Amino acid sequence: MTITRNIILEGKHQKPILTDVFYNANGEQKPVVVFCHGYKGFKDWGAWDLMAKAFANSGFFFVKFNFSHNGGTVQQPIDFPDLQAFGNNNYSKELDDLSSVIDWISENEAYSKEIDLKNMTLIGHSRGGGIVTITAEEDNRITKVISLAGVSDYGSRYPMNTDIAQWKKDGVVYVVNGRTKQQMPHYYQFYEDFIKNEEHLTIECAVSNLNIPYLIIHGDNDTSVLIDEAYHLHKWNPSSKLEIIKGADHVFNTKHPWKQGSISKELDKVVLIIKDFIS
């Protein structure tokens, strides 16, 4: 298997997009899968590497990356050494980052013999579920899209449900990272960008207008993004496929760090469902 880690892509927002690719180099064109992490996430979280290898071993060209402002750095792509970047992240930047990754895949001659550009699927976990859906509705290079424990609405999620007047006055609100114990900032620009682009960032609109195959996967034990959000997504696009993973939490019963040699049975089921969906 060919694995190339921490490829530096130059995005549109003055910070690099670190990218990994996983594939079996055999000169045969493969379906492309692009994976987007979620809020307080990163490409090397938990079992995502093992998931990437599972797809590569099944004949896919798998790409995962860190959003440019997710809080990681080139030197330390895991966790959040750059809280200033994290605080200056927003949904529009993440949409731009994903577009830059898709451009890079589409234009990279080094992989041209290994990828089938007519078969490109986006997977978004959690907050990333909205990012991939909005992108897929707008970008005709995308042939399938998957919401993995994905959110259905950005406007109601933290920090959007904070005291907006106080946020504007202070310029920042903080959320505690339960694992790292960091006080993670959201600067007021996050809210300003959302309000300016609210129509574009309305997931319901994107889901309702999708005209490509759409898969929604959710665990029935997800306490971070409730299963009701999956039902909302499915209602807005009745032709979508909804798969409920029994007993699965928000990260399909994995965690960070993940020291086991194989993925959980719940995440393994996710991989099988996605492979079947793409094929």
Kindly report, residue by residue over 80-104, the tens digit of the pLDDT: 999 999 999 999 999 999 999 999 9
Between 237 and 160, the more confident residue is: 237
Q: What is the pTM of this model?
A: 0.98
Domains in the chain: ranges and CATH:
2-153+199-278 (3.40.50.1820)
Predicted local confidence at residue 268, as pLDDT: 98
Lowest mean pLDDT among 34-43, 73-82, 152-161: 152-161
Give the pLDDT score at 275: 98
Residues 230-255 have a mean pLDDT of 98
* pLDDT given at position 161: 86
**Cβ 34 vs Cβ 55: under 8 Å:** no
Grade residue 190 by pLDDT with cuts at 50, 70 and 90.
very high
Amino acid at position 44, single letter: D
Output the pLDDT for position 196. Answer: 98
Under the banding of pLDDT at 50, 70 and 90, the label for residue 139 is very high
Contact 94, 67 (CB under 8 A): yes
pLDDT digits (tens, 9 = 90+) for 160-177: 889 999 999 999 999 999
Summarize pLDDT for 219-228 with one digit per residue, the tens. 999 999 999 9
Residue-wise pLDDT tens digits, 9-55: 999 999 999 999 999 999 999 999 999 999 999 999 999 999 999 99
